[in-house]
Amino acid sequence: MMRWPPAIGYQLLAVTLLAPQPAQGETPAHAATSHYAFFGRDRERLPGHAFLENRAFEGAQVTYSWKQLEPGQDEYEFAAIDTDVAILKAHHKRLWIQLQDATFSPDRQAVPRYIMTRPQYGGGAHPQYDDAGKVEGWVARRWDAAVQARFHKLFGKLAERYDGAIAGINLQESSIGISEEGLSRPSGFTYVGYRDAIKRNMRALRDAFKTSAVMQYVNFMPGEALPELDRGLIRSLFDYGEEIGVGVGAPDLLPRRPFQQAHAYRFMREKKRAGRLTVGIAVQDGNYRGTTGVGLGSEMGESWPDLVPELAAYAHDDLGARYVFWSIEEPYFSKNVMPFFSKRP
């Protein structure tokens, strides 16, 4: 789910040697698009799901929260990941991990309890606020060095067990309902400091995973509203991903939304032309209707416009996406996504 608020023989040899090369574990941006089914919080639907028999899908993207994987300090629980890897492997598919440290519900937390209760972590997580000043979720104190150190240790533990065994791993979106001023300002938070913390996460994930693909979701940044208010925050994250070989992705594929066009999509198109950054995009709940969120879907038997061909074309042709993650939201996945991919060779 998204929140609102990149001699001829010698000449050819020289070009080959001087051209930017993808970092170890990174996939060239011009490679063919890989498609994954996105399960979100619905991993219980993975066993026996219809997509497992469709060769067009290379695997599944599944979300796991920080507190799920580290319920106690230095107590790591990876049974869910092991189960999902085994299910997918039996069908010749691979797992892509999405690591969650934020939620979009006031009643849910993604951060381990010990992080939230021990004083050295400053509360561990901070509320996210909507435009009306109401709490709409929580996010780990990503800008806090003590909290970040614990998160980076989790990266290392995951890499020890799964680097090369999974297709890839991504960190959650950059957009958060936090500000430098007012009720939503937490201690120690600044827009630039937050940007730098995202960079540190990208570097740490790249250092941990040497073989599997790594990606940071960058959709919006607090303190920016492009094109009017541009502090260079989003651009710098796209540039940094290109520099260190970390892919950049985003939640929500909404080709007709100007706000998305002005932010992540703008930089994805720019990087596509340069050809040096791996891009990913997630088709999430609501996107099959051209919006976001759940609860507004068509009932089985009703008719609705089939946006899947448009979404697939835009992801590949306009954004140059190397990876596309398709929500299993029903009835759209069964009625539109599966027939579309069943026609593909």
- Average pLDDT by consecutive 10-residue portion of the chain (345 residues)? 37 31 44 92 95 98 98 98 98 98 94 97 95 92 98 98 98 96 90 98 98 98 96 98 98 96 97 94 96 65 89 97 98 97 81
CA nearest to 86, candidates 108, 103, 62, 69 = 62
- pTM, two decimals, is 0.89
19, part of any domain: no
279 vs 316: CA distance, rounded Å: 10
142, part of any domain: yes
247, part of any domain: yes
pLDDT of residue 209: 98
pLDDT of residue 31: 63
**Structure tokens given for 49:** 């799901």
310, part of any domain: yes
**CATH number for the domain that contains residue 41:** 3.20.20.80
| Cα 258 from chain centroid (whole Å) | 20
16, part of any domain: no
pLDDT of residue 21: 39
Start-to-end CA span in the chain (Å): 31
14, part of any domain: no
What residues contact 114, with CB distance under 8 A and at least 6 apart? 72, 73
210, part of any domain: yes
Q: Domain total for the chain?
A: 1
CA triple 265-312-103, angle to 5 deg: 60
pLDDT of residue 301: 56
CA nearest to 155, candidates 97, 108, 104, 109 = 97
318, part of any domain: yes
Domain around 276: 29-342
**Structure tokens given for 51:** 């997509």
108 vs 63: CA distance, rounded Å: 14
